[in-house]
Chain A
Amino acid sequence: MNGQKRQNPFPLPSEIESAPGAEGWEAMYPYYTRFRPEDDQRFWFYNSMHFPEPMPAFDVITAEVPYSGMGAYTTRVFAFPTALGIDHRILNGRVYITANTVTDPKQVESRLAIFQERAGYYYENWNRLYGQWRERLNQLIVEVDAIKVPQLPEFDDPEVVSEARGIAQNHYVRASFHRCIESYSKMWHHHFEFLMLGYGAYLVFFQFCKQAFPEIADQTVARMVAGIDVLMFRPDDEIKKLARLAVELGVDAPFASNGVDNGDPAAMLAAVGSLGEAGKRWIAALDKARDPWFNTSTGDGFYHHHRSWNDDLTVPFSALPRYIAQIKAGKNIDRPTEALKKERARIIEEYRSLLATEQDRGAFDQMLGLCHVVFPYVEDHKFYCEHWFTTRFYSKVREFGSLLVRKGVLQDVEDVFHLHHTEVDLALIDVLLAWAAGSEPAGASHWQPIVEKRKTLVEKLKSWDAPPALGPMPERLEDPAVQMLWGITSETLDSWSRVPDAKDANEIRGFAASAGVVEGIARVLTSVNDIGQMMEGEILVCPVTAPSWAPLFSKIKAAVSDIGGTMSHAAIVAREYGMPAVVGTGQGTKRIRSGQRLRVDGDRGIVTILE
Chain B
Amino acid sequence: MPADSNDSDTTYVRHFGELSLKDRPTVGGKGASLGELTQAGINVPPGFVVTTAAFERFIAALDADESIRKIIAALDPSDLPAISVATATVRERIETVPLPDDLREMVSTAYRGLAGDERRAPVAVRSSATSEDSAAASFAGLQDTYLWVRGEEAVLHSVRSCWASLYSTESVSYRLRLKLPEQNVAMGVVVQRMVESLCSGVMFTRSPVTGDRSVIAIEGSWGLGSCIVSGEVTPDKFVVSKVTGDISKRTLSEKSVQHVPQAESGGVKVATVPAEKQMAPCLADEEIIALADIGKRVEKHYGSPQDIEWAVGQGRTSGKDIYILQSRPETVWASREAQPVAAPRARAFDHVLALLSGRDR
* Cβ-defined contact, A208 with B353, below 8 A: no
* Cβ-defined contact, B355 with A363, below 8 A: no
Return 5 A-B CB contacts under 8 Å, by A number.
A105-B358, A115-B357, A354-B213, A354-B242, A362-B344
Q: A105-B358, A216-B214, A347-B243 are in contact. List 18 more A-B contacts (CB 8 A).
A: A82-B358, A108-B357, A112-B358, A123-B347, A214-B212, A215-B209, A215-B214, A220-B241, A220-B244, A350-B214, A351-B214, A356-B338, A357-B338, A359-B342, A365-B344, A366-B348, A480-B361, A515-B244
Q: A208 to B360: give the CA distance in the assembly, Å.
A: 13
CB of A140 closer than 8 Å to a CB of B: no
Q: A354 to B341: give the CA distance in the assembly, Å.
A: 13
What is the chain B residue whose CB lies nearest that of A348? B243
Given contacts A216-B212, A347-B243, are A603 and B250 in contact (CB under 8 A)?
A: yes
Given contacts A478-B361, A515-B248, are A214 and B356 in contact (CB under 8 A)?
A: no
Residues A480-515 near B (CB distance < 8 A)? 480-481, 515
Given contacts A220-B241, A356-B340, A363-B343, are A203 and B246 in contact (CB under 8 A)?
A: no
Across the interface, which residues of A come within 8 angstroms of B357, CB to CB? 81, 108, 112, 115-116
Shortest distance from the beta carbon of B80 to any chain A beta carbon, whole Å = 48
What is the chain B residue whose CB lies nearest that of A108? B358
Shortest distance from the beta carbon of B296 to any chain A beta carbon, whole Å = 10
* Cβ-defined contact, A204 with B351, below 8 A: yes
Q: A297 to B239: give the CA distance in the assembly, Å.
A: 38
Which single member of B242, B243, B285, B349 contacts A124 (CB below 8 Å)? Answer: B349
Shortest distance from the beta carbon of A466 to any chain B beta carbon, whole Å = 31
* Cβ-defined contact, B352 with A119, below 8 A: yes
* Cβ-defined contact, A82 with B349, below 8 A: no
Across the interface, which residues of A come within 8 angstroms of B215, CB to CB? 213, 215-216
* Cβ-defined contact, B351 with A367, below 8 A: yes
Residues A96-137 near B (CB distance < 8 A)? 102, 105, 108, 112, 115-116, 119-120, 123-124
Q: A370 to B348: give the CA distance in the assembly, Å.
A: 6
Residues A175-222 near B (CB distance < 8 A)? 197, 200-201, 203-204, 207-208, 211-217, 219-220
CB of A21 closer than 8 Å to a CB of B: no
Q: A365 to B348: give the CA distance in the assembly, Å.
A: 9
Q: A208 to B361: give the CA distance in the assembly, Å.
A: 13
Q: A369 to B345: give the CA distance in the assembly, Å.
A: 13
* Cβ-defined contact, A201 with B349, below 8 A: yes
Across the interface, which residues of A come within 8 angstroms of B214, CB to CB? 213, 215-216, 350-351, 354
Q: A82 to B357: give the CA distance in the assembly, Å.
A: 7
Which single member of A197, A212, A515, A516 contacts B341 (CB below 8 Å)? Answer: A212
* Cβ-defined contact, B243 with A120, below 8 A: no
Across the interface, which residues of A come within 8 angstroms of B244, CB to CB? 217, 220, 223, 347, 515
Q: Classify the interface of chain B: helix, strand, loop or mixed.
A: loop
Shortest distance from the beta carbon of A509 to any chain B beta carbon, whole Å = 16
Residues B214-251 near A (CB distance < 8 A)? 214-215, 239, 241-244, 246-250
Q: A359 to B343: give the CA distance in the assembly, Å.
A: 5
Given contacts A359-B342, A370-B348, are A350 and B242 in contact (CB under 8 A)?
A: yes
CB of B207 closer than 8 Å to a CB of A: yes
* Cβ-defined contact, A351 with B249, below 8 A: no
* Cβ-defined contact, B355 with A480, below 8 A: yes
Shortest distance from the beta carbon of A78 to any chain B beta carbon, whole Å = 9
CB of B210 closer than 8 Å to a CB of A: yes
Q: A359 to B243: give the CA distance in the assembly, Å.
A: 21
Q: A197 to B351: give the CA distance in the assembly, Å.
A: 12
* Cβ-defined contact, A214 with B351, below 8 A: no
Given contacts A347-B244, A351-B214, are A363 and B358 in contact (CB under 8 A)?
A: no
* Cβ-defined contact, B343 with A603, below 8 A: no
Across the interface, which residues of B come within 8 angstroms of A360, CB to CB? 340-343
* Cβ-defined contact, B356 with A363, below 8 A: no
Q: A357 to B242: give the CA distance in the assembly, Å.
A: 19
* Cβ-defined contact, A351 with B342, below 8 A: no
CB of A80 closer than 8 Å to a CB of B: yes
What is the chain A residue whose CB lies nearest that of B338? A356
Residues A314-357 near B (CB distance < 8 A)? 347, 350-351, 354, 356-357
Given contacts A214-B212, A354-B213, A360-B340, are A123 and B352 in contact (CB under 8 A)?
A: yes
Across the interface, which residues of A come within 8 angstroms of B338, CB to CB? 356-357
Residues A554-602 near B (CB distance < 8 A)? none
Given contacts A112-B358, A216-B214, A351-B214, are A363 and B248 in contact (CB under 8 A)?
A: no
Q: A197 to B239: give the CA distance in the assembly, Å.
A: 33
What is the chain B residue whose CB lies nearest that of A481? B356
* A-B pairs, 5 with minimum CB distance: A356-B338, A362-B344, A123-B349, A515-B246, A363-B342
Q: A364 to B341: give the CA distance in the assembly, Å.
A: 10
Across the interface, which residues of A come within 8 angstroms of B347, CB to CB? 120, 123-124
Across the interface, which residues of B come within 8 angstroms of A197, CB to CB? 352
* Cβ-defined contact, A363 with B352, below 8 A: no
Produce 1/0 per residue, B199-216, CB < 8 A to A. Answer: 000000001011111110
Q: A388 to B267: give the CA distance in the assembly, Å.
A: 72
Q: A106 to B247: give the CA distance in the assembly, Å.
A: 47
Shortest distance from the beta carbon of A119 to any chain B beta carbon, whole Å = 6
Across the interface, which residues of B come within 8 angstroms of A480, CB to CB? 355-356, 361
Q: A82 to B347: give the CA distance in the assembly, Å.
A: 22
Given contacts A115-B353, A215-B214, A220-B243, are A603 and B342 in contact (CB under 8 A)?
A: no
Q: A197 to B355: give the CA distance in the assembly, Å.
A: 12
Across the interface, which residues of B come within 8 angstroms of A214, CB to CB? 207, 210-212
Across the interface, which residues of B come within 8 angstroms of A356, CB to CB? 213, 338-341
Q: A124 to B214: give the CA distance in the assembly, Å.
A: 33
* Cβ-defined contact, A213 with B349, below 8 A: no
Shortest distance from the beta carbon of B344 to any chain A beta carbon, whole Å = 4
Shortest distance from the beta carbon of A487 to any chain B beta carbon, whole Å = 16
Given contacts A359-B340, A363-B341, are A201 and B352 in contact (CB under 8 A)?
A: yes
Across the interface, which residues of A come within 8 angstroms of B241, CB to CB? 216-217, 220
Given contacts A347-B243, A350-B243, A359-B340, are A367 and B356 in contact (CB under 8 A)?
A: no
Q: A517 to B249: give the CA distance in the assembly, Å.
A: 11
